[in-house]
Structure 1
Amino acid sequence: MLRQRDKNSEIMLSCIEEKYYKGEVVLEHHSFVRIISGEMKIIQSDQKTIVGVGSTLLIPRNQLATFIKYPKDGKPYKSVVLTFTTEKLKHYYSNHSFELTKPQQHRLKLLPPHQLFDSYFAAFESYFDVEDDLPSDLIDLKIEEAMLILRSVDKDIDYTLADFSEPGKIDLAEFMEKNFMFNMTMEKFGYLTGRSLTTFKRDFKKSFKSTPQRWLTQKRLELAHYYLSSKDRKPVDIYLEVGFENLSHFSFVFKKQFGYAPTEIKLRAIDE
């Protein structure tokens, strides 16, 4: 369940009662998130982060990540999500002084525990019992309050929130080698590397001598094989992480590629 509390989706309650929910996200805007119950695994190209009850984080825009949300301790996954739109951030910073004196680093921020966060989010659950949309003036106040709290708790937050630049053209091969496990559209891969779809496909062919889809499938299967054979992990635990949407499809293409099912790797190792 995903409930909006305003028509512009700037405040939302996410509630997952099923076994899990997986989504690959490249956010158009920054998201300020508080975990109320359950747990979420965040997979990026160079790290995995697990956040649980009481965790507060800022997810920057234009960053590739896989989010796996699931219930825990008999409670559903539940979170409050605030969206900081670029339009509102530009308006905010036009009225608040700031100075960027070092290079911007757009990374997922797991924010430290703080009483200001606790007090701020305590009021939110009651908002979701209200049937009507929240008044726009209240939304604006809550967004600005969140900004003030964030800037008070994290003195470096401006380096992320006040940077309005768009992705520039970057090294495609290096980017794809780091991010092949994310199940994005070709258009989105192109955007994140600073290219149109046509230019992305052309440059990809030049770099890898293959089509994007064929190369992505091959890389994901190779990573899956490594996890299963060298890390002693189970198919059910890794197919989402390596970029497949369901276990049966993963098993089918794995067997087609290697000649045996992913569940047979341990038996083959014993025989050898």
Structure 2
Amino acid sequence: MDHISRYLTPEIKLSCYEDKFFKSDIMFDDHMLIWFISGETKIIQYDASFLFKKGDIFLIPRNQLATIINYPSNGEPHKTVVMHLSVERLKKFYQNIELVKKPIPENKIYSFNNHPLLESCLASLVPYFDLKSHFSEDLASLKITEALSILRAIDKNVDNVLANFDEPGKIDLIGFMERNFMFNMPLEKLGYLTGRSLSTFNRDFKKHFNTTPQKWLTHKRLELAYYQLAEKKKKPIDVYLEVGFENLSHFSYAFKKLYGISPKQLI
């Protein structure tokens, strides 16, 4: 994978993927504001999928599980400007802003397609990546404050997301796992998102599902793959990444072991 990241600060970077595609299951610790210079990204959540391309701008809230697949497009690499909006930075920004208490934010990605103010703000960062001189913290702070101020001006509900500093509380394990089994996350992360330590997560999982997380996850992913192949008539090459497998050969082996036939035999 030919991936280049150039940082102005730990919070602002220019990201470039040259390869055919790059896939990752992610859960960001920071909110991520992303502007597309070129290329495409497919983002898959448990209940929705999105396709973003050149000119698009979107916000991925922190602690959201998603599969991200990055593609070059029209002969151009996958290239984005990314702004990390950390909890620490946001607490400073909101400390003198009076907020109305709002309900818990939805688990969704916020799209600001081709918005001229946001695009101007993020595009203004690009020339700095070619400078040899140091990009000061004061300038970084000004740029992040500008982006946050624009976000608040164009979406009145964004405070509901950005000013929510709560850590995940203990939630229903069965419902969470049924929604999110296709995301290839470490068990520690899954435990964190359900409000549990790793040991409590494993204990509760065994009690509810009567098996280990690894066995249950593999079986659920193969069930989803079978449905996508048999009912949706998708190809194995288009299915294995989206159901949580890392490579096609492992997927094909596990599928045949469970169902007695190869994925291709269902097409």
| Shared fold per TM-score greater than 0.5 | yes
Is residue 221 of structure 1 aligned with residue 213 of structure 2? no
Q: Could you tell me how far 1:101 is from its partner in structure 2?
A: 3.6
C-alpha distance in 2 between matches for 1:106 and 1:198 = 26
C-alpha contact (below 8 Å) 2:57/2:119 kept by paired residues = no
Letter in 2 for 1:79: T
Which residue of structure 2 aligns with residue 269 of structure 1?
none
Which residue of structure 2 aligns with residue 211 of structure 1?
212
C-alpha distance in 1 between matches for 2:224 and 2:31 = 30
Letter in 2 for 1:128: F
Classify the secondary structure of the residue corresponding to 1:31.
strand
Deviations 1:53-97 (A, max 9, x none): 111111000110110000111111111110011111101111223
Q: Could you tell me how far 1:47 is from its partner in structure 2?
A: 0.7
Q: Give matches, 1:193-204, under 5 Å.
A: 193-204=194-205
Which residue of structure 1 aligns with residue 231 of structure 2?
230
Deviations 1:140-190 (A, max 9, x none): 111111111111111111000001000000000000000000000110000
Is residue 26 of structure 1 aligned with residue 53 of structure 2? no
C-alpha contact (below 8 Å) 2:8/2:129 kept by paired residues = no
Q: Give matches, 1:97-176, under 5 Å.
A: 97-176=98-177
Classify the secondary structure of the residue corresponding to 2:19.
coil
Classify the secondary structure of the residue corresponding to 2:105.
coil
Letter in 2 for 1:5: Y
Classify the secondary structure of the residue corresponding to 2:211.
coil
Kindly tell me the number of residue pairs found equivalent between the two proteins.
Answer: 265
C-alpha distance in 2 between matches for 1:132 and 1:26 = 33
Which residue of structure 2 aligns with residue 14 of structure 1?
15
Q: 1:101 to 1:262 in 2, by over 3 A?
A: closer
Q: 1:201 to 1:103 in 2, by over 3 A?
A: closer
Letter in 1 for 2:7: R
> Identity percentage over the alignment?
51
Q: Could you tell me how far 1:133 is from its partner in structure 2?
A: 4.6
C-alpha distance in 2 between matches for 1:62 and 1:98 = 22
Classify the secondary structure of the residue corresponding to 2:8.
coil
C-alpha contact (below 8 Å) 2:29/2:63 kept by paired residues = yes
C-alpha contact (below 8 Å) 2:55/2:113 kept by paired residues = no
Q: Could you tell me how far 1:110 is from its partner in structure 2?
A: 1.1
Where structure 1 has 5 or more consecutive residues not aligned to the other structure, the ranges are 267-272
Which residue of structure 2 aligns with residue 270 of structure 1?
none
Which residue of structure 2 aligns with residue 55 of structure 1?
56
Letter in 2 for 1:61: R
C-alpha contact (below 8 Å) 2:170/2:196 kept by paired residues = yes
Letter in 2 for 1:184: M
Where structure 2 has 5 or more consecutive residues not aligned to the other structure, the ranges are none
Is residue 5 of structure 1 aligned with residue 7 of structure 2? yes
C-alpha distance in 1 between matches for 2:107 and 2:98 = 20
C-alpha distance in 1 between matches for 2:103 and 2:172 = 23
RMSD (Å) for aligned C-alpha atoms:
1.3
C-alpha distance in 1 between matches for 2:81 and 2:104 = 30
TM-score relative to the length of structure 2: 0.95
